[in-house]
Structure 1
Amino acid sequence: MIKEIQLRVTLPEEQQDPDIKKRAAAFLDEDVSNITGVVILRKSIDARKKIVVFNYKLAVYINEELPKESEYHFDYKDVSSASEIHIIGFGPAGMYAALRCIELGYKPVVLERGKDVQKRRRDIKAINQDHVVNGDSNYCFGEGGAGTYSDGKLYTRSLKRGDVRRIFENLVFHGATNEILVDAHPHIGTNKLPKIIKRIRETILNYGGEIHFETKVTDFVIQKDHIKTLILDDNREMKVEKVILATGHSARDIFELLHKKNIAIEAKSFAMGVRVEHPQHIIDSIQYNCGMERPDLLPAAAYSLVQQVKGRGVYSFCMCPGGFIVPAATEAGEVVVNGMSPSRRNNKFANSGIVVEINADEDLRSFAHHGALAGLEFQKSLERTSFTAGGRTQTAPAQRLTDFVDGKLSPQLNESSYQPGLVSAPLHSLLPKHLGSRLRKGFEAFGHKMHGYNTNEANIVGVESRTSSPVKIPRNDTLEHPQISNLFPCGEGGGYAGGIVSAAMDGERCAEAAIQR
């Protein structure tokens, strides 16, 4: 017999006796000797009240054998001589599109402008230490995409778009721990994700797929409504039958190419703002009511905040407990910040993007002549402003939090995890009024929701501008572009995903659609 139960265990109870099998037996009024095993299906933490509670969803096996293997199987086969499908981009969407092609008997040919994870490390080091930005190899571009070196969060709300469990099981198949199948907000960590990405690459190559790193697509040759040839940056030409476009939210050259060739693209909603960084112990103290010392059983505390200000949402984005702020620029002459956490989330700082919804009609009027690229040009303008205010290096402009809210320059800044360094700057006046004023009101509201959050022990750092793509590449019911019959826009760059898991699911869907056509 197998019974599913829900258990709530307080932190003191968990500290006193962590034996979940005994708790399940007591809950079911069953002799513990009859319980052959307990499988944790889901685990979360409820810290809304003074006593922290662990929520468990369990499958309890009573005189029943535990399953020996997962119900998910990945049937990869040799596709070295099979029909080809070309995939531009090797982030989550491109990787999962390639894996799905192999499962379905097609050969993926992946073209990735950046480098593999090992070589990419050198370019990331150059950004952090030497302030040198490689436009094709950075925190956004390269094997694994933007998620590889910026956290590996797996939480998604896209539960209706595909089989989320299948995506997680595939990550476990390639080396992730089983914890991601259980945690309510799963996370791999930027220190572990590269090894998993490497194993995915090896699977694709071992079964006959191709991956071409440092290979940038610069043009399409189109006949009637069909892409016939891809033009590469070394002037090589590559004949294609079907193309999955999975280039990510920062591949601005692709958006500009499509716009130049009169291939339909659309402006879409997005958000911009800043990244705020607190000492982790402050967030722990607020969330867990634990003072300066967090109990060992509790992970570094996270938070999620939202406030309506003047008809717009101001909200936290990509919250990184125990993490680092990193430079995410993709071109020289811009400063962009993002966040990441190692798997243990053991850094002494917590950071999060705090962003504001951008309304194209109201906020982008001065960029309207750029048409569908108005949001992209607005992004660029703020990133250049941030670059100038930071001293024209990857040093980022920053301000103490309450100084920002009060509208005054910070005479000095707090210690920060941002490796290129910070310089004091009046972000309250550098940001456009529609953005800065809402952020200031939002921070005031967050201080009321989380007492102690609004403190001058926190820095805000600018600018957080790459939350999502400001451009959408349209597609019809068969997932093809309405003008180009063999082009399948995919993932975050197409405007159809908002993170690793949703991008991976969209990659699988696009592979299936390309094969069906």
Structure 2
Amino acid sequence: MRYRISNIPLWLDEDEGLLTRRAAERLGVSAAHLREVLVIRRSLDARKKGHARWLVNLEATVDGEVHAAGADVTPAPAPEPPAPRVRAPAAPPIILGAGPAGLFCAWELLERGVPSVVVDRGKPVGPRRRDVAELMRSGALDPESNMNFGEGGAGAYTDGKLGTRIHHPAVRKVVELFARFGGVSRILAEGKPHVGSDLLPGAISAMREELERGGCTFLWGARAVDLELAGGRFRGLTLADGRTVDSDRLVLAPGNSARELFELFARRGWPVEAKPFAVGFRAEHPQPLIDRIQYGTERRHPKLPPADYKLADNPRVAGAARGVFSFCMCPGGVVVPTPTEPEMQCTNGMSNSHRSSPLANAGMVVAVSPADFAAEGFEGPLAGLEWQRKWERAAYRLGGGGYHAPAQRLSAYLAGRPGTAPGRTSYRPGVVPADLSQLFPPAVREALRAGLRSFEKRMHGFVTDEALLIGVETRTSAPCRLVRGEDLQSPALRGVYPAGEGAGYAGGIVSSAVDGLRVAEAIAAELGPA
């Protein structure tokens, strides 16, 4: 019988051969009775500085009877059976958006015998890469091809972290497919799987090529401008060039920056609602500083990866608690521009597979809600979107244009001092010194400052003149939600399936991909067995 043995400790300088012996001890058998031993997860436990260790989960087939009990020894889960094939639809489903939700929806449908038509306003990875490089070199933005729009969606060029807080059986499938197409088998056992922005675009392209070989069609540079309906049911997608793609099923997986689509829903009176998200700045520190804070005396150990962190607090501001947290932490990474509209500035972070940059970055963000938008006169389903735009325009002006980012030393921002010359930064096309207290309402600024003081108490040295705040971080998640029912369809648009982060149902690569799989399963259930 095959078992899973969890949380086996292994100190940094210990030989991996000890894992099999320790697994056998947990099982109450001799190591000679174990075969097909496989490491399925390896997580770093660095909670005690100077005493870092790995916690490893193994699977092994055991010959004979096991003499063990406890939560750390369980039967290994059985492999998932192949997806059953379903009845072919009259026309291939349309998937709007070639990000994680769209691609994984297409994959699941194809596994069930249903090829789809994937429509994206952006470009394939190759030409998209050139447009992204030009934005970072010269500040020239292509509104149709950038860090958010194009093959792979926003995730293709913003790090490739595959960690997630959701607990869904399909998470493993998502990671396995990224490992397969990216040639990065190491992520199958990583506690915090990370492909890297240098490898993820290639993985996305390889997946797309496999989908094309299976019969899927991809339309690039195809911006959707309207939905064709008949009797309340979807019948076709109208593109900006006048073409119409006919189908009776549409998966809306547009990403969290599809502002024209959100505006279309509001203009037509289709179900869309404002939702909370988070805003703030990207904090950039020297990576050796973060290593020293997190690892202490072991910081130079060759087996330790560049250190990361995850911080959260709920300070009370104006009599109410407000969440403040780190977002999308990128050890050994760079800060990148992520605008999609002219004269609006926003940022994100990414790391390549080796995480070799001398700098670390993470969003330092504050939760905001429709009440915050209303306080500044923004009402209705697009209130959050217009509120985002207000602060992105303000950041663009403060940076002097050309997608230069306004920046201030973290210590100066916290003390309320005027900005001085920024320190070292990875951000391109560049930063300019600015007073970041001009950005965001007082309640957001006060909460962020309170959160930063709290973070300093947990990570002594976090608040330093060596750290930089770069503005602004506004695209943490979609500002609105395209409403769907229990059958995952829009209640007013039959045959339309909102999906992923852009529709308001996920946050990050993996949860978006899983939501795409769920939508494909819902379509398959409606089609019925072949």
Residue 100 of structure 1 contacts residue 511 of structure 1 at CA under 8 Å; is this kept in 2?
Answer: yes
Percent identity, aligned pairs only, is: 38
Residue 81 of structure 1 contacts residue 107 of structure 1 at CA under 8 Å; is this kept in 2?
Answer: no
How do 1:226-237 and structure 2 match up within 5 A? 226-237=233-244
Structure 1: give runs of 5+ residues left out of the alignment: 65-69
Displacement of 1:246 after TM fit? Answer: 0.5
Residue identity in the other structure for 1:120: R
Query: 308, 315, 327: which one pairs with 1:309?
Result: 315
CA distance in 1, matches of 2:213, 2:83: 13
Query: 130, 134, 141: which one pairs with 2:138?
Result: 130
Displacement of 1:427 after TM fit? Answer: 0.3
Displacement of 1:490 after TM fit? Answer: 0.7
- Displacement over 6 Å in runs of 4+: 73-82
Provide the secondary structure at the position in 2 that maps to 1:428. Answer: helix
Displacement of 1:23 after TM fit? Answer: 4.4
Shift of the 457–39 alpha-carbon distance from structure 1 to 2, 3 Å rule, reads same
CA distance in 2, matches of 1:342, 1:132: 23
Query: 114, 117, 124: which one pairs with 2:125?
Result: 117
Query: 222, 231, 241: which one pairs with 2:248?
Result: 241
Shift of the 235–76 alpha-carbon distance from structure 1 to 2, 3 Å rule, reads farther
Residue 429 (1) aligns with residue 438 (2): yes
Match of 2:173 in 1: 166
Residue identity in the other structure for 1:201: R
After superposition, give the CA deviation of every residue in 1:325-382 in whole Å (9 maximum; x if it has no partner).
000001110111000011111111110001101021244322334x110000010011
Structure 2: give runs of 5+ residues left out of the alignment: 65-77
CA distance in 2, matches of 1:283, 1:4: 34
Provide the secondary structure at the position in 2 that maps to 1:491. Answer: coil
Displacement of 1:391 after TM fit? Answer: 0.6
Residue 397 of structure 1 contacts residue 424 of structure 1 at CA under 8 Å; is this kept in 2?
Answer: yes
Residue 386 of structure 1 contacts residue 463 of structure 1 at CA under 8 Å; is this kept in 2?
Answer: yes
CA distance in 2, matches of 1:131, 1:362: 31
Displacement of 1:72 after TM fit? Answer: 5.5
Match of 1:43 in 2: 42
Residue identity in the other structure for 2:302: D
Provide the secondary structure at the position in 1 that maps to 2:297. Answer: coil
Residue identity in the other structure for 1:316: S
Shift of the 113–330 alpha-carbon distance from structure 1 to 2, 3 Å rule, reads same
Shift of the 229–37 alpha-carbon distance from structure 1 to 2, 3 Å rule, reads closer
Shift of the 270–251 alpha-carbon distance from structure 1 to 2, 3 Å rule, reads same
Match of 2:305 in 1: 299
Shift of the 472–7 alpha-carbon distance from structure 1 to 2, 3 Å rule, reads closer
Match of 1:324 in 2: 334
How do 1:168-207 and structure 2 match up within 5 A? 168-207=175-214
Provide the secondary structure at the position in 1 that maps to 2:465. Answer: coil
Displacement of 1:42 after TM fit? Answer: 1.6
Shift of the 262–3 alpha-carbon distance from structure 1 to 2, 3 Å rule, reads closer
Displacement of 1:6 after TM fit? Answer: 4.0
Provide the secondary structure at the position in 2 that maps to 1:448. Answer: helix
Alignment RMSD, CA only? 2.3
- Using structure 2 for the length normalisation, give the TM-score: 0.91
Displacement of 1:82 after TM fit? Answer: 7.2
Displacement of 1:266 after TM fit? Answer: 0.4
How do 1:215-230 and structure 2 match up within 5 A? 215-230=222-237
Residue 92 of structure 1 contacts residue 507 of structure 1 at CA under 8 Å; is this kept in 2?
Answer: yes
Match of 1:59 in 2: 59
After superposition, give the CA deviation of every residue in 1:149-199 in whole Å (9 maximum; x if it has no partner).
111111111214x52112222223323423222222111111111111111
Match of 1:281 in 2: 288
Match of 1:67 in 2: none
Match of 1:15 in 2: 13
Match of 2:148 in 1: 140
Match of 2:75 in 1: none
CA distance in 1, matches of 2:24, 2:494: 61
Residue 88 of structure 2 contacts residue 113 of structure 2 at CA under 8 Å; is this kept in 1?
Answer: no
Residue identity in the other structure for 2:461: G
Displacement of 1:431 after TM fit? Answer: 2.7
Query: 232, 257, 268: which one pairs with 2:275?
Result: 268
Residue 176 of structure 1 contacts residue 188 of structure 1 at CA under 8 Å; is this kept in 2?
Answer: no
Provide the secondary structure at the position in 2 that maps to 1:502. Answer: helix
CA distance in 2, matches of 1:299, 1:3: 29
Displacement of 1:231 after TM fit? Answer: 1.3
Provide the secondary structure at the position in 2 that maps to 1:368. Answer: coil
Residue 158 of structure 2 contacts residue 351 of structure 2 at CA under 8 Å; is this kept in 1?
Answer: yes
Query: 69, 91, 97: which one pairs with 2:99?
Result: 91
Q: Say how many residue pairs are matched.
A: 507
Residue 80 of structure 1 contacts residue 208 of structure 1 at CA under 8 Å; is this kept in 2?
Answer: no
CA distance in 2, matches of 1:422, 1:73: 52
Match of 1:394 in 2: 403
Shift of the 438–81 alpha-carbon distance from structure 1 to 2, 3 Å rule, reads closer
Residue 284 of structure 2 contacts residue 360 of structure 2 at CA under 8 Å; is this kept in 1?
Answer: yes
Shift of the 102–224 alpha-carbon distance from structure 1 to 2, 3 Å rule, reads same
Query: 22, 26, 38: which one pairs with 1:24?
Result: 22
CA distance in 2, matches of 1:343, 1:296: 17
Provide the secondary structure at the position in 2 that maps to 1:266. Answer: strand
Residue 273 of structure 1 contacts residue 462 of structure 1 at CA under 8 Å; is this kept in 2?
Answer: yes
CA distance in 2, matches of 1:18, 1:131: 48
